[in-house]
Structure 1
């Protein structure tokens, strides 16, 4: 899961980023509304954390703009205000939730999980299943038939992306954007390395799940021996 934090208080933004990374989310941070809108337009984020008061463009303006453009990415508004008008405006513009600063870490994480559930992602117990494998995104453990192994962060993020997209082909460009960020200098061979790591671990677990290469396009998960 990749989350964008748009927050002009640098110390708070970095603290938020560290908390989310500790819980195995990929995170990008920007400090002004104009940059926030540009990043939101990339389409690579699973959730946006938007401060309401931002230089350049307010969080409410960003929210209103992306919703008018049909971008349905879940949004949680961050605000230091307790004013009902801000909350009402945010919900009317299409926010999924809001949380007032200062907040308790556990509450923020719970609200993030709830927003992602409403989007349709299977995050209730931090587990994803496909074929005979189960991935725990919190512990980054991959299990199959009573055996399990620990993945590194990018392996876990990559397998999570492939599972969530199920039978859809996942282009290498999308993998780079999701795992490294849309302004990253990572290349296709970086993706190929982690695909190779995952394939070896699936074989080691004797899983019936494989990663099929669609030449010139990307990758798709498949259950060996299944009939489409």
Structure 2
């Protein structure tokens, strides 16, 4: 799951944007000023930062300067109503990867986030996972078997990755639903069973791979070792 550090001092806007991003499958940590954001960044190392420019205590441009001194590669997107050319140029000179002008559509922001994170060095280094005879490419969201690939949805790719990275351990149903469908009131436990069944079907050509339903608890992926 993509981990976002979102820095915005306007509380009502922040609530709407954070909720919308979580509904799209992201993990969002929000704070209201640059000084707090800098401490969170040093502690938690997010995959991407969304930064408002005009904030109290420490503005977005100053925060970006500090971030770039610590990390030259983490993607930074400025979200701001400051649309003057000189502000946009300054933002890019400080190391921003993108500059989104308020007001914006969540759909546009989601696409920009996914594009930047997937092309970041961190993701490039860890995009492929061998799951039995399958290859999961979480960057391109594809699952390959003996040269043939299928396209996965973002949630399918991330959930399969999480199951594999926590293989032989049970992931509680509640954790899965909170992580990938956090505020979707229409998504139920029965819907999750159907979703897991679809992932099992994708993996059915390698009999060593098993996704077990631990009744009343959650799901566990295991891969039988070759003898």
Q: When the two structures are superposed, what TM-score results if normalisation uses the length of structure 2?
A: 0.60
Q: Distance in 1 between matches of 2:36 and 2:207?
A: 43
Is the 1:33–1:56 Cα contact (8 Å) retained in structure 2? Answer: yes
After superposing on structure 2, the runs of 4+ consecutive aligned residues of structure 1 that deviate more than 6 Å are: 142-146, 150-154
Q: Point out where structure 1 has 5 or more consecutive residues left out of the alignment.
A: 123-127, 164-178, 181-200, 211-220
The correspondence of residues 34-183 of structure 1 with structure 2, limited to 5 A, is 34-120=35-121, 121=123, 130-131=129-130, 132=134, 134=136, 158-159=162-163, 162=165
Q: When the two structures are superposed, what TM-score results if normalisation uses the length of structure 1?
A: 0.59
Q: Deviations over 1:80-136 (max 9, x none)?
A: 1111121111111111111000011221111111211330437xxxxx653215488
Q: Distance in 2 between matches of 1:207 and 1:87?
A: 54
* Cα drift, residue 78 of structure 1: 0.6
Give 1 or 2 for the bigger CA radius of gyration: 2
Two-structure CA RMSD over aligned residues (Å): 4.2
Q: Deviations over 1:42-62 (max 9, x none)?
A: 243100000001111011111
Q: Distance in 1 between matches of 2:48 and 2:207?
A: 31
Q: Distance in 2 between matches of 1:117 and 1:153?
A: 13
1:73–1:81 Cα change, 3 Å: same
* Cα drift, residue 9 of structure 1: 0.7
